[in-house]
């Protein structure tokens, strides 16, 4: 099985819900939420991809970097490359019943571990969705998945964090930007924004359960600062793949602004439009400590199951190695804005 066969199979199973385009850039699926697209005109999704494409790498060839080291340590996790699989919920209704929700979560969580990375798992209006991820947590062992909880009422977040702790989870996330998700509203269970005080409360509740907590969906430097002050363990600079607000900037555009404010205070992850190892290097050079990838893993898992997830991750690693050699970066720590060409 190669990536072309995986993509062909995913295209046929998705029956039009995902066209598996040559470049996954949100043009064809604009407005398809539920679905694979971005909200409204789809501009936020497209902005993510376009911003990364507009950034250029600066080749450097006189050095001694032959076999760069791609592994890194973040949040106490040893990763073979600075990458996590983004949490994806509603696989069956977003991708035309191409894959069962539990099957998808099994494929990404076990594939991630086999490839030396880790996957996020989703939460949704039906509790069963989160429980599927927690079943995987129990099966794979301590600290092997990162469940993301929706920004429900604080009491419900606490209850779900208790489920996580009992399942052997060590890091939880909360995708705060899900307050903009039309799918939760369609299911009659909207989520709501949190105040700085509520955020601090959620962090202390996580601590009391021995959990680290990541806040996903940060786009504004002020929100990033509040997260750092609340004692959050990491943030994900994300616009939910453009699914929660039309006309939002690209994550690659806001990342350096966020780095300026909270860099060094807490680890920064970023996602949105990352498709290749070259894109990973660009995001790291813009200020991320690690990245997340969403849609390409849906295609990999739907078309190739666990093996598809492993194969796509290995491809990303090979591309990252190549990009590190060509920019003279020996290790992940050595990747900086010097790897970028500023015209």
Ligand X SMILES: Cc1cc2nc3c(=O)[nH]c(=O)nc-3n(C[C@H](O)[C@H](O)[C@H](O)COP(=O)(O)O)c2cc1C
DSSP, res 333: G
306 touches ligand X (CB under 6 A): no
Distance CA 8, CA 299 (A): 9
Q: 10 Å Cβ neighbour count for 182?
A: 14
Which of 68, 89, 96, 133 touches ligand X by CB under 6 A?
A: 89
The minimum distance between CB 263 and ligand X, in angstroms, equals 21
287 touches ligand X (CB under 6 A): no
Distance CA 307, CA 155 (A): 38
The minimum distance between CB 25 and ligand X, in angstroms, equals 9
Distance CA 84, CA 82 (A): 7
86 touches ligand X (CB under 6 A): yes
Which of 194, 216, 306, 317 touches ligand X by CB under 6 A?
A: 216
φ and ψ at residue 235, rounded to 5 degrees = -120, 155
Site for ligand X in 103-162 (CB under 6 A): 122, 148
DSSP, res 342: -
- The site map against ligand X for 220-239 (x = CB under 6 A) is ------------------x-
Pick 266 or 298: Cβ nearer ligand X: 298
83 touches ligand X (CB under 6 A): no
Distance CA 125, CA 20 (A): 27
Pick 72 or 124: Cβ nearer ligand X: 124
Q: How many amino acids of this chain bind ligand X (CB under 6 A)?
A: 23
303 touches ligand X (CB under 6 A): no
Distance CA 245, CA 43 (A): 9
Least Cα distance to 146 among 182, 184, 176, 105 occurs for: 105
3-state SS assignment for residue 101 = helix
Distance CA 161, CA 213 (A): 10
Which of 271, 306, 313, 320 touches ligand X by CB under 6 A?
A: 271
Pick 68 or 241: Cβ nearer ligand X: 241
The minimum distance between CB 63 and ligand X, in angstroms, equals 31
Category of 74 on φ-ψ map: left (φ > 0), alpha (ψ -120 to 50) or beta: beta
The residue sitting closest to ligand X, measured at its beta carbon, is 294
274 touches ligand X (CB under 6 A): yes
The minimum distance between CB 28 and ligand X, in angstroms, equals 14
Pick 65 or 283: Cβ nearer ligand X: 283
Distance CA 76, CA 334 (A): 20
The minimum distance between CB 241 and ligand X, in angstroms, equals 3
Q: Which residues contact 159 (CB under 8 A, 6 or more apart)?
A: none
Distance CA 68, CA 245 (A): 38
Window contacting ligand X (CB under 6 A); options: 84-92, 131-139, 200-208, 252-260: 84-92
212 touches ligand X (CB under 6 A): no
The minimum distance between CB 247 and ligand X, in angstroms, equals 16
Distance CA 270, CA 144 (A): 20
Which of 42, 287, 294, 308 touches ligand X by CB under 6 A?
A: 294
Which of 42, 82, 151, 272 touches ligand X by CB under 6 A?
A: 272
Instruction: Please list the helix, strand and coil fractions of the chain in percent, rounded to the nearest 5, in that order.
Output: 50, 15, 40
Contacting positions for ligand X (CB under 6 A): 36, 48, 86-90, 94, 122, 148, 175, 216, 238, 240-241, 243, 271-274, 293-295
């Amino acid at each position: 099985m190669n990536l072309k066969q995986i993509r062909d199979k995913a295209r046929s199973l998705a029956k039009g819900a995902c066209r598996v385009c040559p470049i996954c850039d949100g043009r064809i699926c604009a407005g398809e939420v539920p679905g694979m697209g971005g909200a409204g005109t789809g501009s936020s999704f497209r902005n993510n991809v376009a911003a990364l494409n507009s950034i250029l790498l600066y080749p450097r060839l006189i050095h001694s970097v032959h076999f760069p080291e791609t592994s890194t340590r973040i949040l106490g996790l040893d990763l073979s490359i600075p990458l996590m699989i983004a949490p994806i919920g509603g696989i069956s209704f977003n991708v035309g019943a191409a894959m069962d929700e539990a099957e998808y979560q099994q494929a990404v969580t076990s594939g991630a571990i086999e490839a030396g990375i880790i996957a996020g798992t989703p939460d949704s209006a039906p509790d069963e969705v989160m429980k599927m991820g927690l079943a995987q947590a129990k099966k794979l062992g301590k600290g092997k998945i990162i469940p993301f909880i929706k920004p429900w009422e604080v009491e419900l977040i606490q209850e779900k964090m208790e489920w996580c702790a009992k399942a052997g989870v060590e890091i939880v996330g909360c995708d705060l930007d899900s307050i903009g998700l039309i799918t939760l509203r369609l299911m009659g269970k909207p989520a709501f924004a949190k105040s700085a005080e509520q955020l601090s409360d959620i962090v202390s509740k996580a601590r009391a359960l021995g959990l680290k907590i990541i806040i996903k969906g940060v786009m504004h430097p002020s929100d990033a600062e509040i997260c750092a002050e609340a004692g959050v363990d990491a943030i994900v600079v994300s616009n939910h793949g453009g699914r929660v607000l039309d006309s939002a900037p690209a994550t690659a555009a806001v990342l350096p602004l966020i780095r300026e404010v909270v860099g060094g205070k807490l680890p920064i992850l970023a996602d949105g439009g990352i498709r290749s190892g070259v894109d990973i290097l660009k995001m790291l050079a813009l200020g991320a400590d690690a990245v997340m990838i969403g849609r390409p893993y849906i295609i990999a898992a739907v078309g190739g199951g666990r093996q598809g997830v492993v194969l796509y991750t290995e491809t990303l690693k090979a591309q990252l190695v190549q990009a590190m050699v060509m920019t003279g970066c020996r290790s992940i720590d050595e990747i900086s804005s010097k790897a970028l060409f500023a015209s």
